[in-house]
Amino acid sequence: MARKFFVGGNWKCNGTSEEVKKIVSILNDGKVASADVVDVVVSPPFVFLPLVKSSLRPEFHVAAQNCWVKKGGAYTGEISAEMLVNLDIPWVILGHSERRQLLSESNEASCLCAKRLYFVGDKVAYALSKGLKVIACVGETLEQRESGATMDVVAAQTKAIAERISDWTNVVVAYEPVWAIGTGKVATPAQAQEVHSELRKWLQTNVSADVAASTRIIYGGSVSGANCKELAAQPDVDGFLVGGASLKPEFVDIINAATVKSSA
């Protein structure tokens, strides 16, 4: 089953309304591969979602960077899945390592406590149940990689989600090794391929062959215009989740890495 290339731009906590308008106009003017070969989703901070949604070219979509784990209510500072649905925001990024690490949505190898793992799993399940599509992030720290725990960590993070959902149609899994995020130290194509392929095998064994074959596993961590094509050429790399470079014109080149697949 062919998996459509997927490129997400995670703008994180960056930008002013002027800067946002500038990025949107670069994206709107960019010559990009057809929507038949690539899904493009950009994720501005919450406050800019309506602006971006209303001004972005129609074939590109928007994602929130987080949402609350259940129905909204007395949760100061949170944004509920229902609100995103209400504003017609189709996607949400959940379980990003910055939230896992800085805001305790974490499952460090030393702290595989169910409560934290299930927090991200519950968020994914709740968002899907409300009709959102989810970019679910997994990935190991440098310490975990160096101790040989990469697949254990990634499997545990994926399991926490798998135990809570039965339909993977609206899930994209983003493998983002923490050591590669914002460091300029990109995973080599072989390193990315190895984890993506292991993760696909995990899905095959623990979920189903269909889910393993059809779920897009995208790579994130220092993706740039310079390294995207080589990464995209890997058979199990189905796209990217891009941070820093998604705020720059080179994001258009990264979107066009999709042509590596479509011409393969």
CA 104 from chain centre, in angstroms, equals 19
**Minimal distance, residue 242 CB to ligand 13P, in Å:** 5
Q: Of the listed 96, 98, 140, 250, which one is catalytic?
A: 96
**Minimal distance, residue 74 CB to ligand 13P, in Å:** 30
61 in active site: no
> At 105, is the secondary structure helix, strand, or coil?
coil
Q: In the structure encoding, which two tokens stand for residue 129, read together? A: 């149940």
Contact 56, 83 (CB under 8 A): no
Phi-psi region of 182 (alpha: psi -120 to 50; beta: other; left: phi over 0): left
Q: Which C-beta is closer to ligand 13P: that of 20 or that of 223? A: 223
196 in active site: no
Q: Which C-beta is closer to ligand 13P: that of 8 or that of 121? A: 8
Q: Which C-beta is closer to ligand 13P: that of 121 or that of 221? A: 221
Query: Taking the CB of residue 40, how many other CB atoms lie within 10 A of it?
Result: 25
**Minimal distance, residue 128 CB to ligand 13P, in Å:** 20
Q: Of the listed 98, 105, 140, 176, which one is catalytic?
A: 176
Contact 234, 256 (CB under 8 A): no
Instruction: Please provide residue 216's backbone torsions phi and psi, each rounded to the nearest 5 degrees.
Output: -80, 130
Residue nearest to ligand 13P (CB): 243
Binding site for ligand 13P (CB under 6 A): 10, 96, 176, 181-182, 220-223, 241-245
Q: Please, which residues have CB within 8 angstroms of residue 239's CB and are 6 or more apart in sequence?
A: 5, 6, 7, 8, 38, 39, 172, 216, 218, 219, 232, 258
Q: Which C-beta is closer to ligand 13P: that of 212 or that of 220? A: 220
Contact 56, 24 (CB under 8 A): yes
Q: What sign has the CA pseudo-torsion 178, 165, 232, 149?
A: positive
**Minimal distance, residue 208 CB to ligand 13P, in Å:** 27
Q: Which C-beta is closer to ligand 13P: that of 100 or that of 207? A: 100
**Minimal distance, residue 24 CB to ligand 13P, in Å:** 19
CA 8 from chain centre, in angstroms, equals 6
Active site residues: 96, 176
